[in-house]
Structure 1
Amino acid sequence: MSRADREAAARRIMVGTPPRTARELYPDAVRRGTRILRRRRTTRRLLWLLLCAALLAFTVWALVAEPWTRPPSETTPTLTDW
């Protein structure tokens, strides 16, 4: 099949009316689509919840640990005035 034949066949397919589907497929497709949307929504909500929990844990850690302050020195300074 040459390129021109393939292009002509593709045009015939695109111009023609789409084939009719069986009526019993519609409820299955709706049920499957609803299930997929419900899973996506649940996954999105769980990821947002996980993000909020991580943000809360980081905030609590930062408030308790105060990583922005200088840690206390481990040794005492030398006494020079004696």
Structure 2
Amino acid sequence: MSAHDRGADAIRRMLDGPRAPVPADLAARAAGRGRRLLRRRRAVRAVGWALLVAAVVAFCVWAAIAEPWVARPSHQAPPLRDW
């Protein structure tokens, strides 16, 4: 008898034996937990999107005020040359 056959026989014996009792409210508890997980996932996703939108708005306001694309004026004049 090979190891595979011994394993299959052990599994058949376990399945043919008495089954463990299952709590009557197991399905209700599992459904409740699933609802809580979905609600938490939605809340985390909503907070993430809100933070992303706030960051984009803050960046746009900063860019509009600071205008980082404009070169800063030089405080030193170029040297004068008399030709």
Q: What is the rounded CA distance, in whole Å, between the counterparts of 2:75 and 2:4 in structure 1?
A: 80
Matched residue, 1:67: 68
The amino acid across from 1:29 in the alignment is A
Higher radius of gyration, 1 or 2: 2
Matched residue, 2:34: 33
Mean CA deviation greater in 56-65 or 68-77: 68-77
State the 4+ residue runs in structure 1 displaced beyond 4 angstroms: none
If the length of structure 2 is used for normalisation, what is the TM-score?
0.71
Provide structure 2 residue ranges, at least 5 long, that are not aligned to the other structure.
13-18
If the length of structure 1 is used for normalisation, what is the TM-score?
0.71
Cα RMSD over matched residues?
2.8
Residues 34-74 of structure 1, C-alpha deviations (whole Å, 9 max, x = no match): 10000000000000000000000000000000010111112
Matched residue, 1:43: 44
Provide structure 1 residue ranges, at least 5 long, that are not aligned to the other structure.
13-18
Q: What is the rounded CA distance, in whole Å, between the counterparts of 1:37 and 1:57 in structure 2?
A: 30
| Identity within the alignment, % | 44
What number of residue pairs does the alignment pair up? 75
